[in-house]
Amino acid sequence: MDQHGFLYVSDCQKNEVKRWKMGDYNNEGIIVAGGNGIGDQLNQLNESTFLFVDEDQSVYVSDSNNHRVMKWKKGAKEGTIVVGGNKKGRNLNQLSSAQGIIVDDLGQIYVADWGNNRVMRWCEGQEEGEIVVGGNGQENQLNGLVGLSFDDKGNLYDSDMETHQIQKFEIQTINEQKQNSQNFPLIEQINQWEIESIDKIQQKAQEYREIVIKSSQTCFNDIDMKLKDLNEQIKQMQIENEFNETGLNYLRNQLIEIKEQLNNPSDISIKKDSQSIINEISIISSKKSTFNKWKQNAITVAGENENGEGLNQLNRPQGIFIDKNKTIFIADTENHRIVEWNYNAKEGQIIAGGNGRGKRINQLNYPAGVIVDEQNHSIIIADYMNRRVIQWLNQNQQILIDNIDCYGLAIHKNGFLYVSDEKKNEVRRWKMGEYNNEGIIVAGGNGIGNQPNQLNKPGFIFVDENQSVYISDTSNHSVMKWIKGAKEGIIVAGGNGQGRNLNQLFSPQEIIVDDLGQIYVADWGNNRVMRWCEGQEEGEIVVGGNGQENQLNGLVGLSFDDKGNLYVSDMENHRIVKFEIIS
């Protein structure tokens, strides 16, 4: 079943998957995968067994006798191979009669590899998978596994067909794997604290439920007695023929009283106690946090102090991106082009646009943001005034998303593209390569405003490894963080009105969050870069903010190289500057 109310069923004899609307089964259903006879072509299946449907209604099918897993996008005429497909075998790029499949929120595909007695995990687009459990040749561990499922804690369950049992494999989290051996006792302490705390809460909850049930039952018994008494009074009045106005008013008042008691069955309520029933714990590290610092003198690495169209010049540059080779990709906004500036080069080269301002496929119109998809080395551009997101690859252009007032862009490592829409005050997410849909709103989308579920002119964005989205909420002078799946965000920088105090921002632009969770913000109106630690009321000035307009004037873009040097697009000075790290 999917979240839209559809039931999907695989037919292993007809080699197809059909879909029905839940509750509406008096029809033949709609074929959503296969249905073109038995075979190994991309529009065919060979003994389709288990399946999985994601939130975009893409169907993943275990194509058992083709020893592969196929993905059929909604409305597609053929599928793509996402797992296996290299004939039957036990290598990491092979399967042997695939069975149960699950796709997690990160797009990772888990497969019950029946013939190899193992569970495999594949990331879409990868040539090989990895063994999660099993596959060691010990048949008493796994033997003919078929079904596959997870519980809400991430523990893995499989139906082990030949041993006639369901097995559970407990999750070992990534964080636990990263801990060295001397910290394992600390993890055990945390696990024990979690178990004990949950037990206490469950015991208290059961105790409170019993109190409410007992109190309610007493109340209902009292109502029952009153109804019986009232019934006797009515019988007596009927015998004595005393149904006058006084008697009827009395009965009416009695019934009203009983009705009120039914609507409020007990005189009890819930009061939250300020005293916790569990003991909170804290993690105390003897190692002090270290904060990087940068030299305060800016070094110009691209452009000059005067605007121009030459290859050594820029005109009000905005978003920047730096790759592992220290090459700077620049949204040269008012030259309507993207410039690639190699490390230590004296001039750049135009890699997108540069054909004048316009809306033709080979033109740009005030590009605001640029990112590089390092998987295929394409350039993705927020073509702001053309209201589109466009991709350039070796002078070939493709419009990915149209009719969007795009400003900020971000790519998540699991293959998602995030785009901010300045006019709709929202951020949307698309699966890379799948743009023939409206995307999914991941932040905002509730109109313009300053409430936790709203944005006001969202600009640049950053997405961390957990798919939390950080947004420069420009006209609210704050940075918002929206955790994946959240209905509203939290303020993590600024949010105290426009200003230059350490707890304020002035039209924030590009943002970066480092591995320690420290948030770096291009504070445009204050000509400074700020660093905020989440949960702190104030930030600190990293560079700039000294009032000297010839140092920074209207900074927008922000990036780091692999050495930790800080780069800023100094818009009004028409240049990109570098601040060298010193600690």
Q: What's the 3-state SS for 508-545?
A: EEEEEECCCCEEEEEEHHHCEEEEEECCCCCCEEEEEC
Phi, psi of 34 (to 5 degrees): 70, -145
Q: What is the pLDDT of residue 140?
A: 42
Q: CB of 509 within 8 A of CB of 524?
A: yes
Q: Where are the domains of the chain?
A: 6-171, 181-225, 299-579
Give Cα 94 to chain centroid, integer Å.
30
Contacts with 18 (C-beta within 8 Å, 6 or more apart), sequence order: 8, 9, 11, 28, 29, 30, 31, 32
Other Cβ atoms closer than 10 A to 219: 17
- Distance of alpha carbon 217 from alpha carbon 245, whole angstroms: 34
Instruction: Return the pLDDT at 226.
Output: 75
Burial of 118 (0-12, 13-18, 19+ CB in 10 A): buried
The CATH architecture of the domain made up of 299-579 is 6 Propeller (2.120)
Residue-level pLDDT at 276? 67
Q: Would you state the pLDDT for residue 27?
A: 92
Q: Are 451 and 423 in contact (CB under 8 A)?
A: no
Q: Are 360 and 392 in contact (CB under 8 A)?
A: no
Name the helix (H) or strand (E) containing 340.
Answer: strand 337-341
The Cα–Cα gap between 65 and 460 comes to 48
DSSP 3-state assignment of 417? strand
d(CA 95, CA 93): 7
Report which of 407, 412, 504, 500 is spatially closest to residue 457, judged by C-alpha positions. 407
- Round to whole Å and give the CA distance between 549 and 525: 11
Residue 513 to residue 532: CA distance in whole angstroms: 9
Residue with tokens 């169907």: 59
Paired tokens of 572: 């009004």
Judge contact between 516 and 289, C-beta under 8 A: yes
Helix (H, G, I), strand (E, B), or coil: what is residue 210?
Answer: helix
Cα torsion 71, 75, 76, 79 to 10°: value is: 20
Dihedral angle over CA of 522, 524, 528, 531, nearest 10: -30
C-alpha Rg value of the chain to the nearest Å: 32
Nearest to 374 by CA among 322, 338, 418: 322
Note down pLDDT in tens along the chain; length 583 residues.
Answer: 888 899 999 999 999 999 999 988 989 999 999 999 999 999 999 999 999 999 889 999 999 999 999 999 999 999 999 999 999 988 889 999 999 999 988 788 999 998 888 999 988 777 888 888 887 655 446 778 888 888 887 888 888 888 788 888 777 633 333 343 344 566 677 877 877 788 778 887 887 787 777 776 767 777 777 777 777 777 777 777 766 777 677 777 877 877 776 666 656 677 766 566 677 776 655 544 557 889 988 899 999 768 999 999 999 999 999 998 899 999 999 999 999 999 999 999 999 999 999 999 999 999 999 999 988 889 999 999 999 999 999 889 999 999 999 999 999 988 899 999 999 999 999 999 899 899 999 999 999 999 999 999 999 999 998 899 999 999 999 999 999 989 999 999 999 999 999 999 999 999 999 888 899 999 999 999 999 987 788 999 999 987 554 478 999 999 999 889 999 999 999 999 999 998 6
For 294, which DSSP code? B
- Measured distance CA(232)–CA(239) in Å, rounded: 11
CA 16 to chain centre: 32
**Spatial separation of the C-alpha atoms in residues 74 and 57, rounded to whole Å:** 6
**DSSP code, position 289:** P
What pLDDT does 394 receive? 83
Residue 320 CA to residue 477 CA, distance in Å, equals 21
Cα(520)–Cα(512) distance, rounded to whole angstroms? 5
- Rounded Cα distance, 539 and 502, in Å: 5
Q: Which amino acid is at 302?
A: A
pTM score, two decimals?
Answer: 0.58
Stated length of the chain: 583
Whether the CB-CB separation of 135 and 127 falls below 8 Å is answered with: no
Closest C-alpha among 37, 79, 43, 38 to residue 58: 79
- Bridge partners of 519? 513, 532
Do 335 and 365 form a contact (C-beta atoms < 8 A)?
A: no
> 318 near 334, Cβ under 8 Å?
no
Superfamily name with CATH number, domain 6-171: TolB, C-terminal domain (2.120.10.30)
Helix %, strand %, coil % of the chain (to 5): 20, 40, 45
The whole-number pLDDT of residue 318 equals 96
Residue 73 near residue 67 (C-beta atoms within 8 A): no
Q: How far apart are CA 27 and CA 422, in angstroms?
A: 45
Residue type, 467: Q
DSSP state of 377: T
Q: Is 92 exposed, middle or buried (0-12, 13-18, 19+ CB in 10 A)?
A: middle
Q: Up-side HSE of residue 486: CA atoms within 13 Å toward CB? A: 19
Q: Which of 134, 117, 123 is nearest to 93 (CA)?
A: 123
